[in-house]
Each structure stands twice: as structure tokens, then as C-alpha cells.
Chain A
Amino acid sequence: MTSPLIDVHAHFDHDRCGRSGWAEANARRLAVGERIGITMHIASILGSWGHTSPTYFPSPDDVTYGNAAMRALQREHPGRIRGYVAVNPNFTRHAVAEIERGLAEGMVGIKLGASRRATDPLLDPIAQLAAERGAPILQHAWQHRRREVPGQEISDALDLAALAARHPGAKFILAHIGGGGDWAHSLRALVGVPNIWVDLSGSGVDRGMLGLCVECVGVRRLVWGTDLTMDTGLAKLRHLSAMGCSEEDIEQVRWKNAVEVFGRGVVGDES
């Protein structure tokens, strides 16, 4: 039997995303996941994905609907899907209430998009709650923020490291090291930051990136994921073997590090 494979950065759609083929897209992720061998999709839905409020600045109503849809998927596939609670920290009381509700109903982490920079004190109550409840935070990031960009109040690894330093008891995941931007900047910034893990997702498959991940962060702080492109996730997983990583190291990246971050509940059906 192959070992578990946990995708810590997945997304699903729902009926109010403005995408006519949303159900097919969800089914396709699960079907491709079967082919790849994914045993658990840890996923989020960011509001309405821009349909009725901006993806990265979602309205409270859209946040609530998206999280409810995420919980429905979790109930439908209890051994295969777990959800992040997506929140907009600008609506702090709403965000805290969503997190409380989501975790009570079996969601396993918190997704922070780009509604408020990670350095901002508004994120403190969320990080504090995450630490208290043992729920990791997946922070959407650009690798090296060099300017403001439209549509996002974007954070990078230095911003997340500042939040992580203020909350040493919380666990953070820097999103999609392959998701665009200067990954070397992020990886150099995360040397010696023990409570930030790096997810390998994203469409970027630059040669040299995985080697620098291992050098700067180490295999114990790498978690596997896909985001919008599952093919690139598979390529990076396969390349770890080509790089000469040991079987044990690859097991860490496939699932053991994710269990350290999220707990045993995310191992899935194949455990």
C-alpha cells in the first residue's frame, strides 16, 4: 500500500462562485487526486471567488457561505476532505465567530488570504485563537512583496515571520512557494523560523527551488500541496526522489509533517 499523501493547499468551488462548471471542477480535483494518490485534500473556499465580493476582500456573507460550502464538502467526503476556515480579519468579530464555528464542526485550520497584511495587529486575535485551539494558519503569500498590487493586501515571508514571532505558540504555513514571486527571498527569510512551514504548491516548478527549500527550511518544515495546478504538485513530489531525498524524508513531506501541523485527523482513509 502506498503511503498517505496530504494536500495542504487545495480549493473547491460552490454554486455561488459564478462558475457554471463548479461541481465538475470539484469532481475533477477529486478524480485527479485519486490518480495522484492524494488521501486528504485540506481545502478552502475564498468567499464567492470574486463573484459577489472580491476574492481577497470577501464580504462577511460570502465568507460565511463559502465556509458552509466547505463544511458540506467535508461532510460529504469525511475521509478525503478537511476544511480551512477562510476569514476576512477586517471583520474581526465575524472572523473569530467563523473560526469558532468551523473548528467546532471539524474544520482543521484557518486560511488567511490577502485582506489585511500579516504584520497588522488586527491579525493578533486570530493568531491567538489559532494557538489556543491548535489550528494552523495557512497564509496566502507573494514570494517577496516589492510593491502594492491591485486586488490584494499581500503579505510575504517577512510579514508572516513578524506575525509568527509575536505568536510563537501558533503554527503557520507560508502558502505556495511555487505560486509566483521570488521564492529565494522567502526561503532565506524563513531560516531559523521554527513555527512556519512551507507548502510546495503553485504552478512554479523552477529548478533550484526545491534544493533551496531543503537547504533553508529543511524537509521537516516542508508540506506538500497543489493549489490550482495538481500536475506541478506531482512533478515536485517526484523530483524530491530525483534530488536524492531519502524515503524517510519524502514520507515527511508527503504526510508526516502535515500530521505534525494538523494532527492525526488529516491522515485520511488510507491510514
Chain B
Amino acid sequence: MGDRMTLTDHNALIGAYPFRRLPEPTPERLLAEMGRLGITSAWVGHLPSAFYRDAASGNDELLAALEPHRGRLLPVPAVHPAFPGWQREVARAVEASAPAVRTYPSHYGFDPAGRAMAALCAACAEAGLEVVLTVRFEDARQRHALDAAPDLIGAAVRAAVRSDPRVRLLVTAADRAFVEEVHFGSTPEEAARIRWDISWIWGPPEDHLAQLFRTVGRERFVLGTHFPLRLPEAALTKLELAQ
């Protein structure tokens, strides 16, 4: 997970959310929270891009917003692989030195086990980009009536990791059952290409995170806060209390 001197938040976002007000979802506030909590750098996506039909325009906003902060905030652009010109967004990500791209099958409405997803995985593997998948933004029990995008299911991740032998995935906001289903539903070689953020995994006394460290392996997990949707200190407290 790294020590506190080199902590990287692998699951941060900026921008507004359509279904509830988020206090200051800005790069400046993210940096302030990182400073308060000792987080060195962050992989930053653009929350509105999950809801735009044309993700490219969201990437324009993301790259512009992060430009003054590129020393600590690394852009993670969004790619809609069933929309014209998506290959250009992969190329822009490379050009911007992004470590990864995000995609949202449930929100964009493409089959996570289909050809578009496989094409994106292949392109990212070729470009050396990790693919970030998001299981959920919010608890299903509090969704807005118009928020109809279903949570990602484990089958989507299994299909993605099998689609290209070189693709690397980072799955955010998965809970223990999801992680276990995918990890033990994959070959060791496939599982070694999947990383998980800890933002949605329970700490003590149920100790799901500690259990997963033992069974799946500590090296498969990364810090993720799910800012600006969740309190960033929550990821750190569960790490602090993991047995």
C-alpha cells in the first residue's frame, strides 16, 4: 500500500454529481484534503464525464482543471469505447501522461463483456494504460429516481481481464464479496492483473479488508478515497485499523 510518505489516492474525482450536492468537488479542495491527510498524489477522474454522452468534452474539462496541479494530480480521462473517436481519447491520455483511463459501461450503456470493451482493453494494454472500472458511485439504497445505471457486476470484470492477456484493471468501490468473486473466479495470472481500491471495503470489527489482505493478497490493493463522494479519511481509518 506504500508508506504515508508516498501515499497515492487511486480513486479521486473532481466535478459535480447530478444527484446530490457535493461540497467543493474541485482540485483545490482535493489538494487541501490530501494535505490534511498526508496523501502525496492522486489519480483524478472527472465525475461529470460518466454522465456526458461525449466523454471527450469531459476530458477537455479534466485536463484544463488539472493543468495547474499536474505535479500531484494525475489525470485519468474517461473513454466511451462505443462512441466515435474514442481512440483519440486513449491517445490524448497517453499524451497527457495519464496512468490510466476510466470507463463506465453501465452509464454509457455498452456491454461490459462485449466487443467495445474488449477493444478498449486491447488499446489500453497496447498504450500501457490501466483501465479503471467503477462498481458504484453511491449506495444503491439512496439512488435518485433517474439514477438507473446498475452497479457493475463481477462478470464484467472477469470478461474484461480475459479479453486481452496484457490488460491491467483497477476496480474501484467494490466490496468484499465482489473482490472475492472475481479474484477466485480468475486464474492466478488474470488475478495478478487486477488491482482493487479499498474505498468500499469494510473495516473492523467485521474486518473485511484484513481478511482480503490475507486471502487475496495485500499487494492487490491500493488506497482509494472516492473523493468527492466519500470522506477521504474513511479509507485511511480502515487502513489504520486493519488487523
Residues of A within 8 A of B (CB): 25, 28-29, 32, 35-36, 142-144, 180-184, 203-208, 210-211, 228-232, 234-236, 238-239, 242
Q: Is the CB of A184 within 8 A of B20?
A: yes
B214 within 8 A of A: no
B126 contacts A by Cβ under 8 Å: no
CA distance A198 to B205 in the complex (A): 22
Q: Does B203 contact A (CB under 8 A)?
A: yes
Cross-chain contact A231 with B204 (CB below 8 angstroms):
yes
A142 touches B141 (CB 8 A): yes
Measured CB to CB, the closest approach of chain A to B239, in angstroms, equals 9
B205 and A205 within 8 A (CB)? no
Cα–Cα distance between A144 and B140 once the two chains are bound (Å): 12
B228 interface hit (Cβ, 8 Å) = yes
* CB of A7 to closest CB in B, whole Å: 11
A181 to B234, CA, bound (A): 19
* A229 contact set on B, CB distance < 8 A: 202-204, 206
The answer, yes or no, to whether B227 is at the interface (CB within 8 Å) is yes
Q: A35-B241, A180-B142, A181-B141 are in contact. Are A230 and B204 (CB under 8 A)?
A: yes
Sample (10) of A-B pairs whose CB atoms are under 8 Å apart: A28-B204, A32-B204, A180-B142, A181-B141, A210-B231, A228-B205, A230-B204, A235-B238, A238-B233, A242-B36
Interface flags, B199-232, vs A, CB<8A=1, else 0: 0001111110000000000000000000111110
Min CB gap A140→B, angstroms: 14
Q: Does B191 contact A (CB under 8 A)?
A: no
Rounded to whole Å, the gap between the CB of A196 and the closest CB of chain B is 20
Asked if B202 contacts A228 (CB within 8 A), the reply is yes
A208 touches B139 (CB 8 A): no
Nearest 9 CB-CB pairings of A with B: A231-B203, A235-B234, A231-B238, A205-B234, A180-B141, A29-B205, A205-B231, A32-B204, A28-B205
The answer for the CA separation of A229 and B205 in the assembled complex, in Å, is: 6
Give Cα A32 to B138, complex, Å.
27
Docked Cα-Cα span, A232 to B139, in Å, equals: 15
Contact B142 A181 (CB under 8 A): yes
| Residues in chain B near residue A239, CB distance under 8 A | 231, 233
Extra contacts, 7 of them, besides A207-B229, A230-B205, A235-B237 (Cβ < 8 A), are A182-B141, A208-B21, A232-B234, A235-B234, A235-B236, A238-B233, A242-B36
With an 8 A cutoff between CB atoms, is B22 at the interface?
yes
B2 near A: Cβ within 8 Å? no
